[in-house]
Structure 1
Amino acid sequence: MTGTPSPGPSRTLDRIRVGSAPDSWGVWFPEDPEQVPWQRFLDEVSQAGYQWIELGPYGYLPTDPARLADETAARNLRVSAGTVFTSLHQGPAVWDETWEQVSRVATLTRAMGAAHLVVIPSFWRDDKTAALIEPSELTTEQWRHLAEGTERLAREVRERYGLEIAVHPHADTHIDTEEHVTRFLDATDPALVNLCLDTGHYAYCGGDSVKLIETYGERIGYLHLKQVDPRVLAEVVRDGTPFGPAVRQGVMCEPPGGLPALEPVLTAAQGLGVDLFAIVEQDMYPCPPDQPLPIAERTRRFLRGCGA
């Protein structure tokens, strides 16, 4: 799909710190023969013009802080966040298992000088077969577990590691559509729980990123930048395709060829008057090893053209 490049920024987006992530190199798992080696990711993300990265799936990049610090510094890279996956709607029974994972990722995230932990809810259907793992709608009790568990997680992560969580609305999870995102925000403490607004996932689920920023701006703590191809998305919605196969169909596309338009999103985020990371995450697993770098370079040029 093609798009018209931005005519140029109306102002400099000096509160937005742009980066990229292993996801933009087709990395979804700690180890997978279809993924590029971590050294190549670090080399190419730096070559593409980025200075900020996320850790990606724990174990993909070196987990020894000293080694990772050396590897990133050698390429003039810094870490903005780590990522964890949770099933907090299942209640207190999953807390110990959740915290075991969170503590590992938070330890490395803090050691790398980052201040954010991106929290992704668990999927309600199998990412490959589309089989239901559990109902797509939570019960009232599960919503309460989700809200209380997320607040506890935010509190513990802040107190023990000095990190702020950013909950990531995600396709095929219970925090996805505008209705679910709004319900989650209204159920959680603004002093503890913010969002990682992923522009692609929110559009995938029918949401308007600019509207969300304008309505709940004080809850936007982090951004992921991506776009969806509306033609592929229409097929995905028609066929009920799960997220993983939808990515293989190319539902997430290279900017500026999809939706939402990123310049209005960035301008709205700039208008919040706070410093925000905006990390490019173009889902494309799996992908040929030579595909990510040219896309990353073009995307970085496009974002500079937006003022970021």
Structure 2
Amino acid sequence: MTLRVGNAPTSWGIEKPSDPSYPTWSQVLDEVAGAGYAGVELGPLGYFPTDPGALRSELARRELELSAGVVMDVLHDAGTADAVVDKARSICALLQPLGTDRLVLIAGWTPSRVETAGRPGAAERLGASDWQRLIDTVHRVATVAAAAGVATTFHPHAGTDVEFGDEIDRLLDDTDPSLVGLCVDTGHARYAGVDPAALLRARAGRVNHVHFKDVDPGVLERVGQDELSFWDAYRQGVFCPLGRGCVDFGDVEGALGEIGYDGWATVEQDASPTGDSVPLDDARESLAYLRSVGLAG
């Protein structure tokens, strides 16, 4: 099967709206297009232009589409929930005029979970009241998105309060399937000890977005042995170009075919802006690999 494949600002190390170390947004768009991708995710609100007309023009002249928006924030804090919902509303107001119909929702990093990422036995789990606040915020965001014609897709992520298999199951069981879908990120699943292809098959009815990411097995082994934090592993290059790591993309391809998935797939390398990798080279390598295994045209 072949999918529409995009990339994302995180592959260039973009995790915030701005930072002196970042390449310009125009360079990132040029390189996403130059590497051969069909689309790009929004990344943090404020990195790309926030005027819909301006962003549409910049994408069109590079023959790119906007595949999804992203909200990544702590979701169980009652004091910040309104701000998270307001951010989602602003992002959907940008997505809607561009015809983009996916909002990726991720629980933000928390210090304790960053330290225990990839180690389920050491991770501190949310208590009942915090978990319910998280679920309430997810539903509020998803309701705002749905009103704008945008479907929410929840992304389990290393170093956050929804990472491991039991947390993914709990999140899906506690949310309204008519409002909240699942984004399977092959790398974050593998980091958390979850088989991404098995997750795709088990939750076929909820999957409405996919991220392709690979994981360096040597760095992942050190996560367990040396108790590396998420950021330590990130800086050591735990996320590598597709095909170099331990994700079985042949099985992923099979699972996507079995469930009839036909949406976007976004390559995300989560690369450190101070690392040794060259994002454009890695983006090209990853797309070439996807073509070699029949996942991209």
Q: What TM-score do the two structures reach when normalised by structure 2?
A: 0.91
* 2:148 is equivalent to residue 155 of structure 1: no
Query: In the alignment, which residue of structure 1 is the partner of 2:66?
Result: 79
After superposing the two structures, state which structure 1 stretch, 68-77 or 21-30, moved more. 21-30
- Could you tell me which of 38, 44, 47 is aligned with 1:60? 47
Query: In the alignment, which residue of structure 2 is the partner of 1:202?
Result: 189
* 2:170 is equivalent to residue 183 of structure 1: yes
Mapping 1:267-282, distance limit 5 Å: 267-282=254-269
Q: CA separation in 2, counterparts of 1:131 and 1:230?
A: 17
Query: In the alignment, which residue of structure 1 is the partner of 2:37?
Result: 50
Query: In the alignment, which residue of structure 2 is the partner of 1:306?
Result: 293
* 2:53 is equivalent to residue 69 of structure 1: no
Q: CA separation in 1, counterparts of 2:194 and 2:281?
A: 29
Query: In the alignment, which residue of structure 2 is the partner of 1:216?
Result: 203
Secondary structure of the equivalent of 1:197? strand
Q: CA separation in 1, counterparts of 2:32 and 2:230?
A: 25
Letter in 2 for 1:74: R
Q: CA separation in 2, counterparts of 1:290 and 1:172?
A: 22
* 2:246 is equivalent to residue 259 of structure 1: yes
* 2:91 is equivalent to residue 108 of structure 1: no
Which runs of 5 or more residues in structure 1 are unaligned? 1-12
Q: Report % sequence identity.
A: 38
- Could you tell me which of 24, 28, 53 is aligned with 2:11? 24
Mapping 1:240-255, distance limit 5 Å: 240-255=227-242
State how many pairs are aligned: 290
Q: What TM-score do the two structures reach when normalised by structure 1?
A: 0.88
Question: In 2, are the aligned partners of 1:127 and 1:244 still within 8 Å (CA)?
Answer: no
- Give the root-mean-square deviation of aligned CA atoms: 2.1
CA positional deviation for 1:227: 0.8
- Could you tell me which of 164, 169, 181 is aligned with 2:156? 169
Secondary structure of the equivalent of 1:89? coil
Secondary structure of the equivalent of 1:257? coil
Q: CA separation in 2, counterparts of 1:176 and 1:87?
A: 13
After superposing the two structures, state which structure 1 stretch, 189-198 or 233-242, moved more. 233-242
Which runs of 5 or more residues in structure 2 are unaligned? 118-122
CA positional deviation for 1:40: 0.9
CA positional deviation for 1:289: 9.1
Q: CA separation in 2, counterparts of 1:290 and 1:240?
A: 24
Q: CA separation in 2, counterparts of 1:243 and 1:234?
A: 13
Query: In the alignment, which residue of structure 1 is the partner of 2:109?
Result: 123
CA positional deviation for 1:290: 7.6
